[in-house]
Amino acid sequence: MLSLLSLLLASGTVLKADTERWTPQNYPNPRRNHTGCNTWENSTLCDPDHILTDQWRAQINENIRSQMTKLTNANVTLAEKAPAECQNQSERITIYVLLAKQIWTPNNQSITGNDLTNFGDELAQRYGLNDLPCKTFLLLIGIEAAKLAYVRTGKDLRLPADLMQRVFHEYKLFNAKNFMAGLNKIIDEIGTQLEDPFKERAQTTASTAPANATDTAATSLAEIVNALMEKNGDGEGGPNGSANAAPRGGQVDGEVRLAGREEQQERTARQYNGTPMGTAQWWMFFALGSAILISFGSLALLAMVQQRQRERRQMRQNITNSSNGQHPKLTTFGGKNTLLVEVAKKKAVTETKRAEREKEETKVLETKRADGENEETRVQEAKRADGEKEKTRVLETKRADGENEETRVQEAKRVEGEKEETRVLETKRADGENEETRMLETMQEEEKETVKKGKNIIKKKEENQEEKRDRKKNQEEKEEKEGNREENKEKDEEEKEEKEEREKREEEEEGRQKMVQKEHFFSEKMLSAATDRATTLLHWQTVRIGAADLATDVI
């Protein structure tokens, strides 16, 4: 059932591709959508309609790569107005080969050259080729339904105007029996011509110079063939030669004339008109006459065989209808001719044996045919059974691989989870230790600060006591002089000092209480951190035990 569904889906895809009329908007880009182009990554070949076979598609793709590599290392001629950076780029020329069965036209009309030109221009724009700093690209577009091909090059390439015309005259795409091989040869020829585009042009001009010294326009392969046939047929002074030489002789020496397709066809028709037939034409007529004679001979032989069969059937019918061996044609003057009767009997026996032999042969042939059909059926059944077994094996293998992959993924996730939990626990533990260390350091700093403050207080107290003794000494001296009044002042000062000492003692007591509270708070924090760490370790141990149980269940 799965294989049938896959076949239906595949056939639906192929039918959709066969009836697709492509537009520049929906035609895929092989550099971005190699799957839609039925090609490989970073390829410049696009065949969405499966025009090429898989073998030829791979061969043509490899040929395109090799040609671009060859052109990268070659000194390709660029246009005079090409930017200077085009001389230093690594990938000099990009060749795109784009194939399609049909393209969209208004009202589904016939595809014209303008439609193909617009299609190629819009594709180049959508691919972003016109936005490149160096426009050294070449688009080869082939439409199978219209049997048309179109080549578009970037403006930074310097090529002869009739380069592609020469190539397509020699290799006619979609018209040859094996157009795939022709396409591969066209790519080879394009690579050769791009490597040295003016080489063949110079050779062609040199080869046609003796025939007409003032004509340097014969650059296409069709014109060379026509010129050779003109020379071999009528000579340089023949009627065709003089008729064609007159208009060409009026050209300026060194002028290059670019002949269009219609002009070449018209000139070829004029040259063939009145030209004696060559060896190829005579062979063609000879082969045609031989085929006609063989056809008439076969028809005559078939008529003779049918007449012979009709005579035999008539003879068997006459012998069967005769009574006692008597045949109307075997009587002589109303009596019986014994010799003729015997001959008729022998013929009847012979015909009977022949009929039995034919029946036996027919039966043997039927038996052999039935055996062959049975054998073919058996072979087909065996192949089908083998195919189903192979599909079942593949499905089982995929299922087992899927289960193994799922188990591996689960195991990897479990190990990753354990690692993550371990990392989190280690991070928490390190953070807890760092927090404890920081708290201890803070407590030590505060204790040092408190000790320092206590020392300052004691020092200040000693200074105050020293100052008090000095004042007391001075006071005693003054009391001696001033009497009771001074004694009262001294009492007031003593009371004031006692009050200050009492306030200092209260401050010291309050500082000691704060120190005790801080020590108690830090002790509680350390105890809580230790409790959290013990709880985390217990949780981690529980997780490890659960993971081990899960792994045991999976195994």
312: in domain = no
Which residue range(s) make up the domain with 543? 340-554
302: in domain = no
Q: Which residue has the higher pLDDT, 521 or 367?
A: 367
Q: What is the pLDDT of residue 164?
A: 64
**DSSP label at residue 276:** P
Return the minimum-mean-pLDDT range out of 97-101, 108-112, 115-119, 229-233.
Answer: 229-233
Measured from the Cβ of residue 373, the count of other Cβ atoms closer than 10 Å reads: 10
Burial (CB count <10 Å: 0-12, 13-18, 19+), residue 175: exposed
How many domains does one find in the chain? 2
How confident is the model over 509-536, as a mean pLDDT? 79
Return the minimum-mean-pLDDT range out of 174-188, 383-397, 420-434, 464-478.
Answer: 174-188
Residue 113's domain is classified under what CATH number? 3.10.310.50
**DSSP label at residue 103:** B
How confident is the model over 431-450, as a mean pLDDT? 82
State the pTM of this model: 0.37
pLDDT digits 0-9 by tens, 113-157:
888 889 999 999 999 998 888 888 999 998 888 888 888 888 888
Q: What is the pLDDT of residue 205?
A: 43
Q: Would you report the helix, strand and coil content of the chain in percent, each value rounded to 5?
A: 70, 5, 25
Report the percent of the chain where pLDDT is more than 70. Answer: 71
Q: What is the pLDDT of residue 361?
A: 86
Give the end of a domain, one of 177, 197, 217: 197
Chain-centroid distance of CA 440 in Å reads: 66
225: in domain = no
Inter-residue contact 494 to 472 (CB < 8 Å): no
What is the phi/psi pair of residue 220, to 5°?
Answer: -90, 155
Q: What is the pLDDT of residue 320?
A: 59
pLDDT digits 0-9 by tens, 412-430:
888 888 888 888 888 888 8
204: in domain = no
**Residue 148, strand partner residues:** 143
Q: What is the pLDDT of residue 169?
A: 54
Residue 339 predicted with pLDDT over 70: no
* DSSP line for 99-155: EES-B--GGGPPP-HHHHHHHHHHHHHHTTGGGSSS--EEEEEEETTTTEEEEEE-T
Residue 93 tokens, joined: 């020329």
Position 148: which residue type? L
Give the end of a domain, one of 179, 197, 215: 197
How confident is the model over 166-194, as a mean pLDDT? 71
438: in domain = yes
Inter-residue contact 4 to 86 (CB < 8 Å): no
Q: What is the pLDDT of residue 166?
A: 62
Inter-residue contact 216 to 205 (CB < 8 Å): yes
**Across the chain, what does the average pLDDT equal?**
74
> 69, 79, 77: which is closest to 194 by C-alpha?
77
Q: What is the pLDDT of residue 16?
A: 45
How confident is the model over 455-468, as a mean pLDDT? 84
Residue 497 predicted with pLDDT over 70: yes
Report the relative pairing of strands 94-100 and 137-143 from DSSP bridges: parallel
91: in domain = yes
3: in domain = no
Return the minimum-mean-pLDDT range out of 65-79, 271-285, 441-455.
Answer: 271-285
Report the percent of the chain where pLDDT is more than 90. Answer: 12
Cα Rg, the chain, nearest whole Å: 55
Give the end of a domain, one of 197, 228, 258: 197
Most confident range, picked from 50-64, 143-157, 480-494: 50-64
Q: Which residue has the higher pLDDT, 213 or 531?
A: 531
284: in domain = no
